[in-house]
Amino acid sequence: MTGAEILLKTAVNAGVEICFTNPGTTELPLVSAFDTVPGIRPILGLFEGCCTGAADGYGRMTGQPAMTLLHLGPGLGNGIANLHNARRARTPVLNVIGEHATWHRSADSPLSMDIVALAESVSGWQRTSTVSQHLSQDTADAITAALSGKVATLIVPSDVQWSEKSGDDKIHPPKAFDGFVETESIERAVALLRTEKKAALILGGWALRPSGLAAAARIKIQTGCDLISERAPARMERGVGIPATEFIPYFPRQALALLSKYQIVVLAGTDEPVTFFGWKGYESRLLNDNQDICQIKAAGKRLPQALENLADALEAPRSIDTAVTGCSQVERPALPQGQLTAQNACLILAALQPENAIIVNESITSGADYFPLGAGLPPHTLLMLPGGAIGYGIPCAVGAAIACPRRPVINFQADGSALYTLQALWMQARESLNITTLICSNRSYNILNIEFSRSGITSPGRYAQTLTDLGNPAIDWAQISQGMGVPAVAVDSCESLARELKIALDEPGPHLIEMML
Amino acid sequence: MTGAEILLKTAVNAGVEICFTNPGTTELPLVSAFDTVPGIRPILGLFEGCCTGAADGYGRMTGQPAMTLLHLGPGLGNGIANLHNARRARTPVLNVIGEHATWHRSADSPLSMDIVALAESVSGWQRTSTVSQHLSQDTADAITAALSGKVATLIVPSDVQWSEKSGDDKIHPPKAFDGFVETESIERAVALLRTEKKAALILGGWALRPSGLAAAARIKIQTGCDLISERAPARMERGVGIPATEFIPYFPRQALALLSKYQIVVLAGTDEPVTFFGWKGYESRLLNDNQDICQIKAAGKRLPQALENLADALEAPRSIDTAVTGCSQVERPALPQGQLTAQNACLILAALQPENAIIVNESITSGADYFPLGAGLPPHTLLMLPGGAIGYGIPCAVGAAIACPRRPVINFQADGSALYTLQALWMQARESLNITTLICSNRSYNILNIEFSRSGITSPGRYAQTLTDLGNPAIDWAQISQGMGVPAVAVDSCESLARELKIALDEPGPHLIEMML
C-alpha cells in the first residue's frame, strides 16, 4: 500500500466518507488512491474556499469530519477563511494539505510557503507527516482531534504519499469523542438558579440541539430564566415544538439592552459573549461585574446531558409546556404582495420553507426579520456564521446537501458575501444538489452603510460611497448562475418570488433566485 | 489628523496613488480618509484575492507599490495566494490590514485570527502599528521595504486608525531603493566568461528589462554565451529589436536537456533554477556540481548597470547586432483557419496583438506555442507567474491596466485558473479597463492529465478523471462574464476568434472571448 492509500483507508475506517478537494501535482498519489480505496468519494471544488466551506457545512450536519485535500500553501491560503469559520463553529474537519516532497523542501521552489504558519491560524491540531509508516497513526490522531470539534490539519509531503509502506498494514482507529462534563460547574449553576434573581441561560453548540433545548426548557419552566442563544450559532434546531430562544443581537447597544437585564447568567456550550467588533464607546464585554456568571463546563454530546442533570437538580418537571417554551402549532406568516423588500423576502421564505428544511443563513442585513418567525415554522435546522468571515453560505449549503441528500436546503444569501465563493454554485450543479439559493440583491455592502450611519456619517464621501456600492455595474446573478450550470431567475415582486420559490422547491436539483431588493 | 489620514498622507507623499481594497468595519476610518486625503484612489474588488492580484500587476508595471486594504485575518487569508505570487515576483506591495481595536484583541471575538502568523507566510516585512504617533514612520518604513521588492504588511488596529494624533503632523518619507551591486561577483563572472567553455547567462528580474537585455546581448555577442530567462518571469520585454532569450522549460527532462549543455552558468537577477515540483526520479537542482556557477550579486535598477559593467569588462562591442540577439523585423505568423486549437489560438494572438500590448499570460498548458513567437512580434511586455499560485491572471490584468491606461492589455488565460478569481472581471467593467480576456476553454485541469501520463498512468480511474474534468457541467464563460458586466462571446473557429479579437481590441473597455479548444 502507498502512503496515500494508508491515509484514505484510515479515514474510511474512521467513518470519513467525503473529500472536498481541489488537488494539484503534489496531491496526485491521493487523487489516484480514491480509485483504489473504496468508501470515500472525492468531490471537486473550483476554488479551495468552496471545499473548506463545504467541509464545514458537512461536518455541522453529520458530526463527522469531511476530508479536504488542498494544494500546498496557496491552496490552504485560499481555504483559510472558511476554515476559520469551521474553527469558530467547532466543526470537525480533516484538513489534508499536500506538500512538496520532503527532499524538495529546501529548494524553495516557486510554490513553497510556510504551510505550518498558515495552518496554525486555523487549526486546533496539526502535524506534518514525515514517513508513510506513521501515516495511519497520524491520520487517526488527526481524526481524533477533528471529532472533538477542531480543524485538524495534516500536511503530507508527496513522497510520503507515494512511498510504499513496508511492514504491516495496520490501520489505526481514532479515539471516539463523547465530550466531557465537570459536575462542579453544574452545582454552581444550580445554586445560582435557585435564587430569585433574574437569570438568563445562554446556549451554544450542542445545547442548541433538540435534546439540549428540551433540557433548557425544563430549567426555564422551573426557574423562570430566559433562554438565549449565542449570536450566530453554527447550528440550531428551530420550529414548532422546539423550545425557542432569543438571539444575542449583533450591535452592542441592542445586545447590552438584552443582557443587562439579568443578574445571573449561566453559559452552556458557549463562552462569555463579547462584541463583534471593538466599537468606539463600548467595551468588549457584554456582561458586567455586577452579574453572577457561571459556565457549565461540558462539551459535545455530554452537554445536553449536563443540562438534563441541571434540570433534575433543580427538580424541574419532566415534560415541557410548549406554551411556555415556544410554539405548539405552526404559525406561518401570510404571503405578502407587491414590491419585494428585505422584510417581504423574509416573510415569503417563512411562509414557504418546507418541513425539515436546512436553512443556511448568510443574509447579513437583509434577514433581520426572518429570525423571529422561526419558532412558529415547521421544524428545521438553521446554520449561521459564528466565525463571521463572509463567503460561507454557498459552499456551506453544498456540504449540508451532501450530508443530508433527502432534506431541502435553502441558502438565504447576501449578495456581497455570495460573490466571495460563487464558484460553489458549480458544485451544486455538478452534484445535482437540492439547494435553492435566494440572493438578497441590494447591490451594496449594506452593513458598512449601517456602520457609517451608526458613527454619525449620514452622507459618506464619494470614495466611501464607491466602496460600499456593488451596483456599478450591477451583478446579473441569473446569468452568472446559469453560467455555472444552476438554473436561475431574477424576481422583483412578492408574487414572482413566491411563484419561483415554489417551483424551485418542487423541482429537484439546484436553483438560484436573485431577489431584487 | 486621524491615524488613517496620516497613513494615507504618508503613502501619497511617497508616490502611492492607488489602493485596491475590500474593506470591512475595522477599516472604516481609512475608507473615510480617502475622501479627506487627496492623491490616492481606492478601487473596490469583490474578493481580496482580486485586490492583491491587482496590486501585483500594478507594481510590476509601475515599480511603485499599490496599497491594498484588507479586512482582518480572513481578508488577508483570501488575499494570500496572490500575495505569494507578488512575493515571488518581487513586486512592491504596501499591504495594509485592518485589525480589531487594540483593547478588543483579548476578547477573541468572532473574526479574530493570528494575523501576524498569516502575514509572515507572504511578507518580506511586517509590523503592527500600536499608536497613531508612529503611524507615519511605520507607513514610510513599510514603503521603504516594499520598494526593495517586497510585500510589506502593515497591520493597523481600528483605534489606531481613528485616533487623533497629537503633536506635530510630520509626514515621513520612505528611503529610495536603487538596488545594489557587488563588484566582486562581476569579476568572477568575467573570469568565467573569458574561458572557451560553453556558457549560459540566465536572466531574471530587472535583467529582463530592455536595458538589462541589451547589456546581456553585448555579452552574448562577445562571448557566444546563450541568453536564457527564468521559467516564468514576473515581467519581461519582448519583441522585435529586443534581445531574445529562451525560457527554462517547466518539466524537468526538458529543463535538464537545456541546462546540462553548459559548462558555465552565470545568474543575473535570479537564483539557481530548481524544479517546479519534487518529481520522482529527479533532483531539485537543475544545475550540477560539474558546472561552474556564479551569481551576479545585484538587484533592482543596479542590475542592468552591473550587466553593462560586465560587458565592458569583457570588452564587448557597444552596439547590438540584432541578427545575433533576436529579430530585426516583425515576423507575425499567418492567421490560421478552421478548427480552433490551443496552437491556433497562440498563432492568432501572435498575429493580432497590438504594438506595446501588455500580455498577462496564465495560459498554463494551452500557451506553449505562443512563447517562441514573441521575439518576432512588435515590442510588448509579458507578465508571467513566477509564484505558480493559479488565479493571478484576471486581477493582474486589472492592475496592469490601471497602471498603464493607454496600453492594451491581453490576458491569455487558462479556464481552470480563471475560476479562482473571476470576480476581477467586475473590476474591469467598473473601471472601464481596456482588457481583452482570452479564456483557453479546454474544460479540464489539463496539467494534471499531463502529470498522470508523465507518471505512466494513461487511463486514470473514474474518480481521478472527475478531479481533472471541468466539463460537467461546462462553464459558460460568456454568461458569467456578462453577469459581471464584461461583454463576451464564445468562439470555436479560427475565423471567429480572429474576428472577435479584432473587435475587442478596437473597442474601448473590457471584453472576454471564450475560446472553445
Whether A342-516 and A180-325 are alike in CATH topology: the answer is yes
Q: What is B3-162's CATH number, 3.40.50.970, 3.90.1150.10, 2.40.50.140, 3.10.580.10?
A: 3.40.50.970
* Burial category of B436 from C-beta neighbours within 10 Å (exposed 0-12, middle 13-18, buried 19 and up): buried
* Percentage of chain A lying above the pLDDT 70 cut: 99
The distance in angstroms from the start CA to the end CA of chain B is 56
Minimal CA separation from B16 to chain A, in Å = 16
pLDDT at A182: 94
Is residue A165 very low, low, confident or very high in pLDDT (cuts 50, 70, 90)?
confident
CB < 8 Å from B in window 46-105 of A:
46-47, 49, 73-75, 77-78, 80-81, 84, 88, 100-105
pLDDT at B169: 78
Is residue A328 very low, low, confident or very high in pLDDT (cuts 50, 70, 90)?
confident
Sheet holding B292-296, edge to edge: B246-247, B226-229, B199-203, B264-268, B292-296
B411: enclosing H helix or E strand: strand B409-414
- Say if residue A166's pLDDT is above 90: no
Judge whether A414 and A489 are in contact, CB under 8 Å: no
Q: How many CB atoms lie within 10 A of CB B251?
A: 16
Q: How many CB atoms lie within 10 A of CB A502?
A: 12
A473: contact with B, CB 8 A cutoff: yes
- Which of A31, A420, A463 is opposite residue B34, by nearest beta carbon? A463
Long-range contacts of A125-129 (CB under 8 A, 24+ apart): A125/A150, A125/A151, A125/A152, A125/A153, A126/A152, A126/A153, A126/A154, A126/A155, A127/A153, A127/A154, A127/A155, A128/A99, A128/A155, A128/A156, A128/A157, A129/A3, A129/A154, A129/A155, A129/A156, A129/A157, A129/A160
Minimal CA separation from A347 to chain B, in Å = 28
DSSP A149: T
Q: What is the mean pLDDT of each run of 10 residues along chain B (517 residues)?
A: 96 98 97 97 98 98 98 98 98 98 97 96 97 95 98 98 83 93 95 97 96 96 97 96 95 98 98 97 97 95 96 94 82 97 98 98 94 95 98 98 98 98 98 98 93 88 94 97 98 98 97 97
pLDDT at A378: 97
Minimal CA separation from A324 to chain B, in Å = 32
* A429 contacts in chain B (CB < 8 Å): 473
pLDDT at A324: 76
Q: Cβ contact (<8 Å) for B475 and A467?
A: no
Minimal CA separation from B23 to chain A, in Å = 8
What's the whole-number mean pLDDT along residues A153-178?
Answer: 91
CB < 8 Å from B in window 476-505 of A:
476-485
- Which of B32, B429, B457 is opposite residue A464, by nearest beta carbon? B32
pLDDT at B201: 98
ipTM, two decimals: 0.97
B125: contact with A, CB 8 A cutoff: no
Q: Cβ contact (<8 Å) for A110 and B278?
A: no
CB < 8 Å from A in window 1-20 of B:
none
CA–CA distance from A428 to each of A354, A490, B161, B441 (Å)? 19, 19, 41, 21
pLDDT at A210: 92
Task: Find cell 433545548 and name the residue.
Answer: A213
Judge whether A444 and A468 are in contact, CB under 8 Å: yes
The half-sphere exposure of A386 on its side-chain side, counting CA atoms within 13 A, is 26
pLDDT at B199: 98
Residue B162: partners with Cβ closer than 8 Å, 6 or more residues away:
A280, B2, B3, B4, B29
Specify the pTM: 0.98
Sheet holding A226-229, edge to edge: A246-247, A226-229, A199-203, A264-268, A292-296
Which numeric CATH code is attached to B342-516?
3.40.50.970
Minimal CA separation from B194 to chain A, in Å = 30
Judge whether A55 and A86 are in contact, CB under 8 Å: yes
DSSP A351: H
B191: contact with A, CB 8 A cutoff: no
Distance CA B48, CA A274 (A): 27
Q: Cβ contact (<8 Å) for A120 and B120?
A: no
Cell of A159: 513522497
pLDDT at A455: 85
Q: Cβ contact (<8 Å) for B485 and A473?
A: yes
A151: enclosing H helix or E strand: strand A151-157
CB < 8 Å from B in window 321-380 of A:
none
Judge whether A155 and A126 are in contact, CB under 8 Å: yes
- Say if residue A442's pLDDT is above 80: yes
Minimal CA separation from B244 to chain A, in Å = 24
What is the SS3 assignment for B75-142? HHHHHHHHHHHHHHHCCCEEEEEEECCHHHHHHCCCCCCCHHHHHHCCCCEEEECCCHHHHHHHHHHH
DSSP characters for B475-517?
P-HHHHHHHTT--EEEE-BHHHHHHHHHHHHHSSS-EEEEEE-
Q: How many CB pairs under 8 A join A and B?
A: 304
pLDDT at A39: 98
Q: Cβ contact (<8 Å) for A276 and B110?
A: yes
List the domain boundaries for chain B.
Answer: 3-162, 180-325, 342-516
| Residue B155 three-state SS | strand
* B247 contacts in chain A (CB < 8 Å): none
B453: enclosing H helix or E strand: helix B446-454
Q: Cβ contact (<8 Å) for A28 and B479?
A: no
Judge whether B440 and B517 are in contact, CB under 8 Å: yes
Judge whether B325 and B217 are in contact, CB under 8 Å: yes
Is residue A339 very low, low, confident or very high in pLDDT (cuts 50, 70, 90)?
very high
Choose the weakest-confidence range: A122-126, A254-258, B447-451.
B447-451
Q: Cβ contact (<8 Å) for B25 and A448?
A: yes
pLDDT at A214: 95
Q: Cβ contact (<8 Å) for A277 and B483?
A: no
Q: Cβ contact (<8 Å) for A467 and B35?
A: no
Between A87 and A319, name the one with better pLDDT. Answer: A87
pLDDT at B321: 80
pLDDT at A325: 78
* A46 contacts in chain B (CB < 8 Å): 416, 419-420, 470
Which numeric CATH code is attached to A180-325?
3.40.50.1220
Q: Cβ contact (<8 Å) for B104 and A474?
A: no
* A96 contacts in chain B (CB < 8 Å): none
Cell of A252: 452592542
Q: Cβ contact (<8 Å) for A25 and B472?
A: no
| Residue A499 three-state SS | helix
- Say if residue A327's pLDDT is above 90: no
Mean pLDDT of chain A: 96
Choose the weakest-confidence range: A51-60, A323-332, B388-397, B401-410.
A323-332
Judge whether A26 and A74 are in contact, CB under 8 Å: no
